[in-house]
Amino acid sequence: MGLTGFIIVIAASIALLMLLVLKIDVHPIISLFIVAVFAGLLLQYGAAGTLEQINAGFAGTLQDIAPARTLV
């Protein structure tokens, strides 16, 4: 998949995210997960690769948030 295909998948993912959150009223975290799976599969990461990338992304975010949250 070239650059054009990548940009199309990203644009479709953003549109899907907006549709899920604004029109269908799906919770934003669930919408992000759905869109991440959608994008990962379309970008040909495969099911296992997609879930590994999602896990790594969420884990990294939680590691950054947790120390700040414990100070509050």
Q: Residue 71: its pLDDT value, please?
A: 64
Q: Residue 41: its pLDDT value, please?
A: 95
Distance CA 61, CA 72 (A): 17
Higher pLDDT, 72 or 41: 41
- Phi, psi for 28 (deg, rounded to 5): -55, -35
Q: For residue 1, what pLDDT band results from cuts at 50, 70 and 90?
A: confident
